[in-house]
Structure 1
Amino acid sequence: MKWMKFALPIGVLIVGYVGMKGIEASASDSVITEEVDTRPTVTIEALAPEDVRVQLTSYGEITPLETTNLAAQVSGEVQQWNPKFVSGGLVRRGETLFEIEADAYEAALLMAEANLASAEAQLIQEQAQADVAAREAKTMPNARVTDLYLRKPQVMSAKAALKSAQAQLKIAKRDFENCKVKAPYDALVVSRGISTGDYVTQGTPVAVINNIEYAEVTFPVAGFDRVFLADNTIGSEIAIEVDDIQGATVKGTIHRDTGVIDNNTRMSYFVARIEDPYAINSSKPIIKFGSYSTIAFEGKTLSDVYRVPQELITNRLLWTLDDEDRLTSQKVTVVREENGDFLIQGDFNANKVVMSLPEYPQNGMPVKVIETTTDLVTASAN
């Protein structure tokens, strides 16, 4: 009976082991082996080449076309001045700004007119006497006929006196007209330094005015943008957005290139002009001198370039797929960066450009293409 004590536990173990193996064997027969797809997923897009007109931007301060230190051209007492001839006033071309007492200059004009009339009369008289002498000379021997007898010196002197009188009259007229000091152009009065009763002398500055027929903006163009300037940049139209005018854009024209590259910044400078900045001849927004502005204008047209997001380009490489949906990196040329995109050129598979890369892409890596966001969501759910 002692052997039964040892045989029974051993038999139970043997039976249990055999049963377990039987269960494993029957279970392995029912298992269906499924292959797991471990390829990383990507999305692709087909790109088409396009012609892109480069948009250039810059900045600059609005300044007057010219500033004049206005001075009186004759001396005298200020009799009156235009009510608009004050700081901030706007005056038209040819409008009288102030007047100087003109009595003395009017008298000088009358005297010059009288002298001219006298010189004309003297010339008429001398020419008449010369005509008489010429007729008499026809009956006289040639030896007795001289220039003095023919009164040629007297006629020449009378002609010179007439020219002198004409010049004096011209000066007298100018001085009389200059008693009224007029605006040389449509102007903004910056400052005025005279009042009624003040005595001004010729050449003394009396006011500062700015030309408002045109304004100018000097703006820089960086060296990397110069290659994108169009051939017809000078004379082309630009859009100017003024900081002081919310939401308003005015038109201007690129007038000239200053012809100098800054030694420190390596920038070149252009000058644009804006017509009628203070809107005295139109209803457009007023642009004040000293305002800061942002400038936009068109450059060259880039032909057959592809637009891709910047994050797709690393070390000037673009990832595409080959015919077997394997990753391939291809060298491209970045022509320009614009609005967060790269404009590129190169020989690559434009029909299968990878838009979302695996974490560690490698050449030849097989990937699974998901065409749309909907497909990606469906695949994730499965």
Structure 2
Amino acid sequence: MSIIKKFLPGIIVISIGIVAAMLIVKFGPEPDSQKAEILPRTIRSIEAKSTDIKLFIESQGTVAARQVINLIPQVAGEITYVSPKFVAGGRFEKGELILKIDPRDYEVAVITAEATSAERKQRVMQEEAEGALAKAEWQELGQGEASDLTLRLPQREGAMAALRSAEASLDKAMLDLERTEIRAPYDGLLTAKSVDLGQFLNRGNTIGTYHSTELLEVRLPLTNRDIAQFDLKGLQTGEKQYAVRLKGQFANKENSWNARVVRTEGIIDVNSRILYVVAELRGDELFSPDDGSHITIGQFVSAEIEGQTFENVVRLPRESLRQGNQVLIVDGENKLRTRMVDILETNNEYIVVSSGVSDGDIVNLSQLALSVDGMLVETQPQNALTENVAAVISQEANND
């Protein structure tokens, strides 16, 4: 009993506190409720505009000569002359003398053939004269029709055949003499030589490797998607050609050349599933319109091939494309909406859209999280953003 009396005042105080708190909660003023404010996210954007676009297909390859041959003599003999340019890297014009074989044996053969031909010609003239005399004598006798043998026609034909053989031998001797001089078959470049002055050549020996510089080619690989940009049938038959711009670096300097895609190689590589087309350069195309530099055999070049022209398509920056051929459009309520698009072309800089985006659509360019459909945004056009960045850079420069 004494213990209860000891703690009773405390129990009474706690009870009164609990009752007071309950009364305050029940009858006290309610706190003002606050609505959560949703702030829009600022994004970079661009307005879609339809236009007509000519597509360019990118590829790369190495410059090579269309004609590469081994220089081989057609006659035997000792080399008595070589051109100063008969070295690896030497350039020759069509018809220019490369080397000369000792011609004396062939000059003697020509003289002998000329003598034989003259002798055979004299024999023909003699047979013609004897035949005419035999015919006149027969006509004087008046004993009917003379035989061919009487008129010496077989003898004349034999002499004519011997003359033709002698003339053929003379032509052959003169041709062999002409072949003692090995001349460039076309404008070209000697890339290797295997003989030199004083060496004896047999017919069929290789004296060097010669590349044409009149006509150069570049093999350009195309994927299945790239091929769709061409009139493949017209290209295969040669009825259609496509302009191509080649770019390459040499001596730490970049140049460009104009060329033409003239044909395909006709088969698809079984390993890479790639079809090669061939770009051709000749004449003025071999020289760069930039500074006149000649394109070099073996040079690595990139290529931009002129493809088809598409009407009423939209070109957007590459950063607007999301996974699964999707873009984000800002709707009338400034909310992001996902759109599926059909893409004609894509590269590191831009995409070309044929459907899914219309004129005037505002397209997002910012990198956002995956779940963004319905997100409230505030757009900042790409052009305006660029101007703001330029203004900031200018201000920082003035401050410095």
Residues 370, 195 of structure 1: CA spacing in aligned structure 2 closer, same or farther, 3 A cutoff? Answer: closer
Residue type of the alignment partner of 1:291 = Q
* 1:349 positional shift: 5.0
Task: Pick closer, same or farther for the CA change 1:349–1:213 going to 2, 3 Å.
Answer: closer
Gap change, CA 1:318 and 1:219, over 3 Å in 2: closer
- Segments of 5+ residues of structure 1 without an aligned counterpart are 1-12, 378-382
For 1:371 and 1:69, the matched residues in 2 are separated by 66
String of CA shifts for 1:220-244, please: whole Å, max 9, x gaps. 1111211112566553332221232
Q: Which residue of 2 aligns with 1:241?
A: 247
Determine the C-alpha separation between the residues in 2 that align with 1:303 and 1:254: 24
Partner of 1:290: 298
Q: Which amino acid in 2 is paired with 1:297?
A: I
Q: How many Å apart are 1:82 and its aligned residue?
A: 1.2
* Preserved contact between residue 332 and residue 347 of structure 1 (Cα < 8 Å): yes
Distance between the aligned counterparts of 2:181 and 2:63, measured in 1?
31
Please give the TM-score of this superposition, normalised by the length of structure 2.
0.75
Equivalent AA in structure 2 for residue 238 of structure 1: V
Q: Contact 2:93/2:188 (CA < 8 Å) preserved in 1?
A: yes
The answer to whether the 8 Å contact 1:45/1:351 transfers is no
Aligned partners of 1:148, 1:114: CA distance in 2, in Å? 29
The answer for the alignment partner of 1:40 in structure 2 is 40
SS in 1 for 2:254: coil
For the pair 1:253 / 2:260, whether they are aligned, the reply is yes
The verdict on how the C-alpha distance between 1:285 and 1:38 changes in structure 2, with shifts beyond 3 A counting, is same
Which runs of 5 or more residues in structure 2 are unaligned? 1-16, 389-400
In the alignment, which residue of structure 1 is the partner of 2:307? Answer: 299
How far residue 106 of structure 1 moved from its aligned partner, in angstroms, is 0.9
Residue 74 of structure 1 corresponds to which residue in structure 2? 75
Counterpart selection for 1:361 from 338, 353, 372? 372
Deviations 1:86-124 (A, max 9, x none): 222112211111222212211111121222222222222
Matched, 1:269 2:282: no
Determine if the alignment matches structure 1 residue 85 to structure 2 residue 96.
no
Alignment-derived partner of residue 5 in structure 1: none
SS of alignment partner, residue 250 of structure 2: coil
Structure 1 residues 235 and 335, CA gap change in structure 2 (3 angstroms)? closer
Q: How many residues align?
A: 348
Question: How much does 1:128 deviate?
Answer: 2.6
Q: Which residue of 2 aligns with 1:335?
A: 344
Structure 1 residues 128 and 291, CA gap change in structure 2 (3 angstroms): same
**DSSP 3-state at the match of 2:163:** helix
Residues 305 and 344 in structure 1, CA contact (< 8 A), matched pair in contact too? yes
Pick closer, same or farther for the CA change 1:273–1:346 going to 2, 3 Å: closer
Residue identity matched to 2:317: P
Deviation readout 1:162-209 (Å, 9 max, x if unpaired): 211110111011111112121212222223233332222222222222
2:225 — aligned with what? Answer: 224
Alpha-carbon displacement from aligned partner over 1:3-45 (angstroms, at most 9, x marks no partner) = xxxxxxxxxx9xxx9xx99xx98x99xx9x9977536356665
One-letter amino acid of the structure 2 residue matched with residue 211 of structure 1? S
| Residue of structure 1 equivalent to 2:125 | 124
**Alignment partner of 1:102 is 2:109:** no
What whole-Å deviation, never above 9, does each CA across 1:50-93 have from its counterpart, x for those lacking one? 11111111111222222222122212222221111122211221
Describe the superposition over 1:112-168 as per-residue Cα deviations: whole angstroms up to 9, x where unpaired. Answer: 1222222222222222322333344445333x6211012110121121112111101
CA RMSD between the two structures: 3.4
Distance of aligned partners of 1:155 and 1:192 in 2 relative to their CA distance in 1, 3 Å threshold: same
TM-score, structure 1 length as denominator?
0.78
Q: Which moved more, 1:306-315 or 1:66-75?
A: 306-315
1:200 corresponds to which residue?
A: 201
| Aligned amino acid, residue 92 of structure 2 | V
**Is the contact made by 2:102 and 2:180 (CA closer than 8 Å) also made in structure 1?**
yes
2:155 corresponding residue in structure 1: 154
Which amino acid in 1 is paired with 2:40? Answer: P
Contact 2:73–2:206 (CA<8 Å) still a contact in 1? yes
Query: How high is the sequence identity, in percent, across the aligned residues?
Result: 24
Partner AA of 2:214 in structure 1: E
Matching residue's letter, 1:361: V
Distance 2:159 2:329 in 1: 99
Contact map agreement 1:109 1:169 (CA 8 A) in 2? yes
**Contact 2:50–2:358, Cα closer than 8 Å, also in 1:** no
What is the alpha-carbon distance in structure 2 between the residues aligned to residue 254 and residue 45 of structure 1? 36
Q: Equivalent residue of 1:170, what SS? A: helix
